């Protein structure tokens, strides 16, 4: 019996950061950290995880105390290649999606996930990525371009998802 392919997940930098950060005293951040730990512990094996060189670059800029742990986690994921087409798609997103040009790096994460056909883009960046207005507009833009859109979600939204799949 052939093994079923796991759903693909592009893991954006904020997820790895929440996973490896020292426990926050801020209740909301602490809850996000806990949910991220639970998702990674209980669900990661149900998905094929992907990152990009961009995630590595951003992760290397974070808290140096957790750098080794971030890199260990990233090394368990496959790496998606950046290309001219991905950069061009990110440029389209910067022009057509409702976020500031300073968020171009977020557009690149979205372009990487879209171009490589990821089923999910996992993030805690709710300002520029997991934002209802941006998700809706991304789907419209991708539809016009004939591209499928990844489901953009937080670890909390994906935590219990595979329990309901037959």
Does any domain span residue 2? no
Instruction: Look up the pTM and report it.
Output: 0.91
Torsion of CA 18, 72, 10, 159, to 10 degrees: -50
For the record, the structure tokens of 157 come out as 């939204």
Does any domain span residue 130? yes
Does any domain span residue 150? yes
Tokens 């750098």 identify what position?
67
Does any domain span residue 1? no
pLDDT tens-digit series, residues 22-45: 888 989 999 999 999 999 999 999
The CA distance from 57 to 71, in Å, is 10
Does any domain span residue 85? yes
pLDDT tier, 57 (very low <50, low <70, confident <90, very high otherwise): very high
Residue 43: which domain range?
Answer: 8-164
Half-sphere exposure of 42 (CA within 13 A, CB side): 14
**Residue 164: per-residue pLDDT:** 45
**CATH classification at residue 56:** 3.40.50.1010
The CA distance from 118 to 109, in Å, is 11
The CA distance from 120 to 111, in Å, is 12
3-state secondary structure of 5: coil
Strand order in the sheet with 8-11: 78-80, 48-52, 8-11, 120-122, 151-153
**Total count of domains within the chain:** 1
């Amino acid at each position: 019996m052939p093994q079923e392919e796991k759903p693909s997940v592009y893991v954006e930098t904020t997820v790895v950061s929440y996973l490896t950060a020292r426990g926050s005293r801020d209740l909301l951040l602490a809850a996000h950290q806990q949910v991220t730990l639970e998702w990674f512990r209980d669900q990661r094996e149900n998905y094929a995880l992907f990152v990009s060189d961009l995630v590595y670059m951003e992760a290397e800029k974070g808290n140096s105390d957790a750098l080794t742990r971030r890199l260990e986690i990233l090394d368990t994921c496959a790496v998606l290649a950046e290309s001219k087409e991905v950069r061009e798609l990110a440029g389209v997103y910067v022009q057509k999606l409702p976020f500031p040009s300073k968020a171009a790096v977020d557009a690149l994460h979205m372009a990487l996930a879209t171009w490589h056909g990821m089923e999910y883009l996992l993030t805690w960046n709710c300002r520029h990525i997991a934002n209802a207005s941006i998700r809706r507009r991304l789907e419209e833009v991708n539809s016009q371009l004939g591209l499928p859109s990844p489901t953009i979600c937080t670890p909390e939204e994906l935590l219990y998802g595979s329990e309901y799949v037959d």
